[in-house]
Structures are given as structure tokens and as C-alpha cells.
Amino acid sequence: MIEPGKGTASNNLRTLGTLGRTGTVPLTLGVEEEFLLVDAHTFRVVPAAPLVIAAAEDLPHHVHAEGTRYQVEISTPVAESSAGLRAELAALRGTLARAARAHGCRLLASPSPVLAVDGPLHLTDDEPRQREQARRFGALTDTLVSCGRHVHIGTFDVDTAVAVSNRVRNWLPTLIALAANSPFWNGRDTGHASWRAMAWSSWPSAGLPPHFGSTAHYQRSVQILLGSGAALDTKMVYWDLRPSGRWPTLEFRAPDMSADIDTAVLQAELVRALVATALRELADHRPEPPVREDVLRLARWRAAHDGLEGFGLDPFTGTELPAADLAEALLDLVAPELAAAGDLDHAARTLSALLRDGSGAHRQRAAFARRRDLGDVLRHLLDATEVQ
């Protein structure tokens, strides 16, 4: 366990550890969402990102290129409320969807292309870094044609981010199950609810973050990734959870991209409340519950395999439990912080709807089952992407 240190980190723990109770420094929210661009008629990915980004020129600070020319990314302004975050996501998605349609394609909020990608991969070829990545990592770059959602919670220094990471990482499998939305990949059912989580963890710098004994341990781990060749630079620290290399935030990278905005907001609400809970525990000098690394790795795989409809592993005991029970346990754990932030009603309603209607992966499979046509899956995702 990392005890609160001196100076900035301990100040953060005192002021941030009671989100909504003393009300002095609210934890902020920011979201990055990655989208695919698909042909409006064939639904296959198209390398139209430069055109679409140019058409969205009124959003120069919020629309960006991604690893391939099949993808675009939006980044929200910093928000203090989930309602404000939702409004920003809706506005950015709407602008980007219109820009896509202007160039004969549509915006697809899907972690995977669903259909196979034809021909050679179109990387973002104006980036020498992308070319070096392709040279060094070969076929691993095929997994770049996938989309996640990154939630940033801030603001605090790296000492605090590392201390919080150690406590909240145990819930990463449950967050993966809640967001599971990639059962289909390259034209087939993968047998997993989140194949993106499995494919992305094939990168040597990806997967669960280590448990860090100190900030120096974290920094050494990053340097080992760089020195070993597993990462070109700190942007390639692809752990499911990491102190951001660009902002004073803790960045949650595990969840799949989901088509509906309310699921996106739920993820942001839950992770902010998790961070607030961890800060409160640190301020109270509460010990971390012991978690075995092998159990946590298995819990991550089981979450990616079963999603929300199957079973998961309790990371604290290794016991097999319904994934829905683990999701409700997470909600119960962070309910006080959700209530303090004014998010409890929305989070409870959205989770209840997910448990009733099924995860994104479940709904994709239901769309496919009607006629066994992947086109129906893509139509379902496209329509959901554009509903605000």
C-alpha cells in the first residue's frame, strides 16, 4: 500500500478525498471516443479520416486523427458534471456524423470493424511514428482498427494517480464487462463479448497495469517498457489504466466503445466515483484488500469472454459470480460518491437498463440472430451511434 506522501499528493488527498462532501475541489471528467468511418452503402471501413476531419474544421481542438485513416477521435472539454459531459458528447458526435455523411460515409461507434478490412492497412501515413510502429510490431498493427473510450479523471499529480490506480485496478474487469461491445471481428463471432479487450492486450505494453510499490516503481516500469522496445514512447503505454502522459489525470482505457451515449456517461460516472472512493480510503489510511495477480488476470479474461450476461470472477476471492452481481456490487460500493456528485439516479437507471436489455455485445448478437446477417449488426450500431 502507498501511504499518502508529503506535499502536493497529500494536499490532493485532503481536498479531493471528499468529493461532494466538503465540496472544495470536484473531480473533473473528460472523455476521448474513437470512431470508425464506414461506407454509407457497403458498411466497410473507408480511409476517409483526413476528409472528415477537414469537414469538422470548426472543432480543431476536439477532433483528431487516430492510428489509421479509418478512424477519428473526439475529445471533450473538461467537465465537472455528467450532464455537461453528456451534452458535449452529443454535440461532438452530431458534428462529426454530419461531416462523415458529407463525404459519403457514416460514423460508427463500434470497437471493431465487424466486417473484414479489405487490402493493406491504411495507417495515418503523415505520422513517421505510425510507420515506425508498423515496422517494429508488424501484424500487431492490425489491431489498431479498433476503438475504445478513454475516461480521464482529474486533476492530481502522478503520486496520487499511482496510489489511486493501485486501488481501482481491481474493478477493471467489471468495467470491461459493463462496456463489452465487440463480439464480431473480421466477419465472424469471436466467442467473446469484448474481443477488443483480448486483441488489444496482445500488445506487450497493454493489459492490466502492475501494482506499484511507489511512484518510482511506476516510473521504472515505464522506462523498462521503453528500453525493452515494447513501446516507442510513453504514448504507447497501453495499460488499461494509467496516469496520463499529457494531462494531470488518471486515464481509464479498458472499456470498449459503445454506441449509446448513456452507457458512455455511466462509465464516466462510475470511474469518477471509484476514484473518489479510493481517495477517501487513502485519506483515512485504510489498507488495500489483498488481490492475487493471477486471479485478477483471469477475472479480466472472464469479463472479456462473458461480458455482462455471463459470469465473472470476484477479484478479491476468486469466486465465480454472475457478472450482473459484480456490476451491482460496484454500484453499491461507489453509491455514496455517486450521490455526492449528483450522479446516483442516472447511474442506477442506466445500469438497470443494461441489465434488463443486455450489453452492447448481447444486442449485437440479437441483431445478427434475426437473419444471420452482419449488415443488420452494422445498421443497429449505426442507428444507435446517431441517436443523441
Q: What is the pLDDT of residues 5-33, one digit of tens each?
A: 333 343 444 344 334 343 445 899 999 99
- Answering whether pTM is above 0.95, one says no
| Residue 264 maps to a domain | yes
Among residues 335, 268, 286, the alpha carbon closest in space to that of 85 is found at: 268
**Pairing mode of beta strands 311-313, 320-322:** antiparallel
Measured in whole angstroms, how far is the alpha carbon of residue 110 from the centre of its chain? 12
pLDDT of residue 25: 58
Residue 3, pLDDT > 80, answer no
Residue 341: is it exposed, middle or buried by C-beta count within 10 angstroms (0-12/13-18/19+)? Answer: buried
Phi, psi dihedrals of residue 151, rounded to the nearest 5°:
-110, 125
In degrees, to the nearest 5, what angle opens at C-alpha 350 toward C-alphas 77 and 308? Answer: 105
pLDDT of residue 65: 87
pLDDT in tens, 259-277: 999 999 999 999 999 999 9
| Residue 82 maps to a domain | yes
Look at the block and give the residue holding cell 506487450: 204
> CA-to-CA distance for 313 and 321, rounded, in angstroms?
6
Other beta carbons less than 10 A from residue 379's beta carbon: 13
Residue 209, pLDDT > 60, answer yes
For residue 120, what pLDDT band results from cuts at 50, 70 and 90? confident
Alpha helices in 229-371 (DSSP H): 261-283, 293-306, 323-341, 344-357, 360-371
pLDDT of residue 126: 58
| Residue 30 maps to a domain | yes
State which residues form the domain around 312.
8-386
| Residue 2 maps to a domain | no
| Residue 103 maps to a domain | yes
Domains of the chain: total = 1
| Residue 164 maps to a domain | yes
| Residue 3 maps to a domain | no
Q: Is 152 helix (H, G, I), strand (E, B) or coil?
A: strand
Contact 28, 248 (CB under 8 A): no
Other beta carbons less than 10 A from residue 24's beta carbon: 10
pLDDT of residue 47: 94
Average pLDDT over residues 152-158: 94
Among residues 290, 331, 363, 32, the alpha carbon closest in space to that of 174 is found at: 331
Contact 23, 79 (CB under 8 A): no
Output the average pLDDT for the chain. 91
pLDDT in tens, 162-188: 999 999 999 999 999 999 999 999 999
Among residues 147, 149, 145, 148, the alpha carbon closest in space to that of 116 is found at: 145
pLDDT in tens, 230-259: 999 999 999 999 999 888 999 999 999 999
Higher pLDDT among residues 131 and 135, named by residue:
135
> CA-to-CA distance for 102 and 54, rounded, in angstroms?
11
Domain CATH for 295: 3.30.590.20
> CA-to-CA distance for 154 and 27, rounded, in angstroms?
5
pLDDT of residue 383: 94
| Residue 1 maps to a domain | no
Sign of the torsion formed by the C-alpha atoms of 310, 271, 194 and 296: negative
Contact 63, 53 (CB under 8 A): yes
Percent of the chain residues topping a pLDDT of 70: 92
> CA-to-CA distance for 266 and 319, rounded, in angstroms?
26
